[in-house]
Amino acid sequence: MPENGELGDSICSNNEVVLEEDDAADWVYRGEGAANVVLGYAGCSPAFVGKVIRIQKSPRSTEKCTAETSTLSTIENLVWKEYIKSSTSKETAQQLFVQNVMVPRLGSGHVDAGMHVPVSRVFLETVEKNILSQRPPWRVEGGKVNTLSDNALLISDHSIFPHGGHQEARCISIEIKPKCGFLPCSRFIAEDNDTKRHDTRFQMHQVLKLHQGEISQLSDYDPLDLFSGSYDRINKAIKALFTTPQNNFRIFVNGSLVFGGLGCGADSSNLDRGGELEDMLGGIIQADHGQRLEPFLLLIGETIFRSRVLAPLLEAQKLDSLDIEGAIHAYYNIFSQSCHVCGDLVDSKTSQIYQSLHSISLEESVKIVRDYLIAATAKDCSLMISFRAREHEDSVSPYGKVYLESTNQSFDYKAYFIDLDMKPLKKMMYYHELDKKIIHCFKQRKEMQQGLSSLC
């Protein structure tokens, strides 16, 4: 149960201010994912300084925008009933999911659930026009601002520090999408899929992405390193993220993106060949030009190592204890449907293993699916860490402190998780299909490589 007992109403819904056409010019494009566009505030209204707004998109394929007024489905209400009241609108349910499900797991100091601000349709239409030229073409193709939404989510801007009255120090932030940090060991993983116990989901998915032309090279990054808790392995992961950032690593200076892409395709093409990043690091890392990047990457590693901020994220990811190969059967149970997966099985020994999952109670099935979905959110969110140099060693600060030995500097830092959206229940079948595709493609490549090496 949520600690504050809040199950239904929008959190601190700000009904006094409505963003109108004239306000649109104050909001500048920051980035976007598959589902939302994020804009930073460049105006001077105290209510918005230091904030971003997150605006829903609607997929192009549906042609028309749809107003997000509907509520969760009956079965989704059953899954989330401990956390979200059944009559709640979908968008408020999203916010309550963050507040009641994710904040207790990741810590209130690392998550801002945000609050809704009302927006007019013309505000959204103007924003859509203003940002069009800055959006990556493939994202424009994939979706547009949902101009029928009547609000946007106002969240702290995690890529800058709020103004403190004195002259602002340069702020540098990074964004990491760490993906799944453990190897599954569920007894429901079929023998044929044993590779899942040894190869990470991230690295196996890389092979499918390469095959489908979504990336042009395999990433060097191994999530097991980042989540290992070991200083050396964390630093190895950061170096790999820098070498092959894809959509897993970005750097911002004072809120502007300076390294990494606005989506997929950010391969090694934008490494710091011209030394621009070295220039940018100038105001923050006290070292000569050409020697700033390495300490900066060490600063990120040191912060992740010392703060242990990824430990609770890993715990949340591990709520997926049965793997999709187990959880999918519980999914069919809660719909009281005959299980399509078992229906397709020919091997009676394997079906016996899964039969045990079809004899559990509805409550147990709901818990398995709920935990799987929470884990899915934890495997897909991102971490933003912002740094600014500390001027006075003993100054009181609400932020964490990290010391960088190689330059003898201390930094303030803050670390926040973003994109903690609830995954739709209906995605369970997609997850099962994608899992099969990933393994199939990975095994094919492995067999091809083994065939080639036996020829040599």
Using CB under 6 A, list all residues that contact ligand 5MY: 33-35, 177, 205, 247, 263-264, 376, 380, 421, 423, 427
How far from 11 is each of 4, 53, 63, 79, 92, CA to CA, in Å?
11, 15, 31, 21, 8
For ligand ATP, the closer CB: 303 or 386: 386
**Whole-number Å distance between alpha carbons of 181 and 242:** 18
264 binds, among Zn ion, ligand ATP, ligand 5MY, none (CB under 5 to 8 A by kind): ligand 5MY
Site for Zn ion in 318-357 (CB under 5 A): 329, 339, 341-342, 354
CB of 48 to ligand ATP, least distance (A): 13
Binding mask 49-68 for ligand ATP (x = CB under 6 A): ---x-x--------------
Give start and end residues of each alpha helix (H) in 172-321.
Answer: 201-211, 223-226, 231-243, 276-281, 293-307, 310-317
- 157 near ligand ATP (CB under 6 A): yes
Structure-block tokens of residue 205: 């998915």
Question: Minimum distance between the CB of residue 427 and ligand ATP, rounded to whole angstroms?
Answer: 12
Closer to ligand 5MY by CB, 33 or 40: give it.
33
Asked if 418 is part of the footprint of ligand ATP (rule: CB under 6 A), the reply reads yes
209 neighbors 215 (Cβ within 8 angstroms):
yes
Residue written as token pair 């950032």: 245
Residue 435 site contact among ligand 5MY, ligand ATP, Zn ion, none (CB < 5 to 8 Å, cut-off depends on kind): none
With CB under 6 A as the contact rule, the residue among 10, 58, 92, 159 that binds ligand ATP is 159
Query: Which one of ligand ATP, Zn ion, ligand 5MY, none interacts with residue 175, CB within 5 to 8 A by kind?
Result: ligand ATP
Task: Give which of 113, 76, 62, 91 is closest to 420, Cα–Cα.
Answer: 113
Cα 415 from Cα 176, distance rounded (Å): 11
φ, ψ for residue 55, nearest 5 deg: -110, 135
SS3 417: strand
Instruction: Report the half-sphere exposure of 359 (CA within 13 A, side-chain side).
Output: 6
| Type and span of the H or E element at 30 | strand 27-32
User: How far is the C-alpha of 10 from the C-alpha of 250, rounded, in Å?
Assistant: 32
Residue 317 is a binding residue for ligand ATP (CB under 6 A): no
Kindly state the number of chain residues that form the binding site for ligand ATP, as judged by CB under 6 A: 21
DSSP string, 150-178: SEEEEEE-TTSPPP-SSPPPP-EEEEE--
Q: Determine if 31 is a binding residue for ligand ATP (CB under 6 A).
A: yes
Q: Smallest distance from the beta carbon of 418 to ligand 5MY, in angstroms?
A: 11
Alpha helices by DSSP H, listed for 340-455, are 340-343, 348-358, 362-380, 427-455
In whole angstroms, the minimum distance from the beta carbon of 1 to ligand ATP comes to 27
36, interface contact from ligand 5MY, ligand ATP, Zn ion, none, CB < 5-8 Å by kind: ligand ATP
Compute the least distance from the CB of residue 411 to ligand 5MY, in Å.
29
34 binding ligand ATP? (CB under 6 A) = yes
Q: Closest separation between CB of residue 332 and Zn ion, Å? A: 6
Interface residues toward ligand ATP, by CB under 6 A: 30-36, 38, 52, 54, 155-159, 175, 380, 382, 418-419, 421
